[in-house]
Amino acid sequence: MPSTAKSNDVCPGSRDWWAGLLRESFGVSFLLFAAFAIVMGLTCYILLGPERFDGAVSGSLELLGNTLPRVVAAQFVAGFVWAMLPRDRFSQLADANFSLRGLVIATAAGIITPGGPTSAFSLLAIAAGAGADRGILITYITSWALLAVQRIIVWDLPFMGAEFSATRFLVCLPLPILAGMIARWLPLSLVLVDAPQQPGEGK
Amino acid sequence: MTSPGVLVIYILLIVLGTAALSRGHGSFQQGLIRGAEQLIKLLPRMLCALVAAGFLAMLVPTEVISGFLGAEAGFMAIVIGTLAGMIIPAGPAISFSIAAVLASEGASTPALVSFTTSWGIFALHRVFIFEIPLLGISFTRLRMLSVLVIPLLAGGLTLVATSVLSKW
């Protein structure tokens, strides 16, 4: 669950700050994940034996070692983006510029975005802060997830082969635009995650 | 293997950190605090998710699943491929390994398209690590509902395309 802007009312580094953070770190969703991991681990141990269990654990730890630096960097990238974006414009302009052309451009942008989720989601947040409408945001991130050329070269091609990759690319090509149109049509409210307090701008 | 992607992150970090510093208004400090807060909140869940995903990858009964993903299963294979893709909370290394195993065990192309497409847009680890911290839960809700039909459509279109082509 997203937090409320704790940093605005509790001094960072104070006891209350830590207490609030740790309460969230080890909250309900943590317990669910932990329970899931324990059940999976026990099942693995019982069904596949201690050797495969050990293999899974050391594989996960290795993956964690590889991923952790990226995740740490990603969170600070997200933090800086969050601190600098004029969030209030997001909801104001969220229903503006309903053109099909925007969705086509967003699809193309998703296809050529290099890098993993950090760069894609940072660009998404920047687009949101700049006032792109919800259709463009959904189309962009869907296009990146399905069609990004760099991901296809690194993952689809070696694992699934050229014919499969080409088929999936062509079949998925129009779908991000459809997702954007559905997003514009859905009657859901869209609020950005807790905006940093700008002086003189009340809620 | 993914070094260009990793590089992008660190370059972004440096560029954005410098931008925040030169912007003033406490942006740099706000960003650092925000990053630290998100990181502390994320780490325990991420550790559990990674460990669980490692076990899951070993436990996924690919023989059983691929039995449901054969060409004779038709549209049902697409639905099951979609559901299977939704529940894998792990990066591309694990999900594509599973897809490759499913392929070697006889899963049909439409089912595999649904599986990889479904994983691509629903991947839960990405939602927790990036989407919710950066854009908020209301964006995630809107996106999930907007893209719900995509894996089914992708699989369905592939099914139509492959059956038309095989008639020729």
In angstroms, what separates the C-alpha of A30 from chain B's closest C-alpha? Answer: 5
pLDDT band at A9 (very low <50, low <70, confident <90, very high): low
Q: Residue B168: its pLDDT value, please? A: 67
Q: Which tens digit of pLDDT belongs to each residue from A84-142?
A: 766 554 444 444 467 888 899 899 999 988 777 877 888 888 888 777 888 999 999 99
Would you tell me how many other CB atoms lie within 10 Å of the CB of residue A22? 13
- On whether any CB of chain B is under 8 Å from the CB of A152, the answer is no
Helix locations, A1-133, DSSP H: 6-9, 15-25, 28-84, 88-93, 100-112, 117-129
State ipTM: 0.78
Highest-pLDDT range among A57-71, B37-51, B52-66, B112-126: B112-126
Q: Residue B95: its pLDDT value, please? A: 85
Average pLDDT score over chain A: 80
Highest-pLDDT range among A110-114, A121-125, A158-162, B154-158: B154-158
Q: Do A52 and B58 touch (CB under 8 A)?
A: yes
Q: Domain residue spans in chain B?
A: 60-167
- On whether any CB of chain B is under 8 Å from the CB of A82, the answer is yes
pLDDT band at A172 (very low <50, low <70, confident <90, very high): very high
Q: Domain residue spans in chain A?
A: 8-70, 85-185
- Please tell me the distance from the alpha carbon of residue A71 to that of residue B116, in angstroms, as a whole number: 23
Q: Which tens digit of pLDDT belongs to each residue from B27-44?
A: 899 889 988 988 888 888
- Please tell me the distance from the alpha carbon of residue B72 to that of residue B74, in angstroms, as a whole number: 5
8 A C-beta contact, residue A12 and residue B46:
no
Q: Do B33 and A48 touch (CB under 8 A)?
A: no
Q: Do A186 and B145 touch (CB under 8 A)?
A: yes
Which residues does B163 contact at the CB level (< 8 Å), separation at least 6? none
In angstroms, what separates the C-alpha of B94 from chain A's closest C-alpha? Answer: 10
Q: Which tens digit of pLDDT belongs to each residue from B92-120?
A: 878 888 888 888 888 899 999 999 999 99
Chain A residue with minimal CA distance to B89? A33
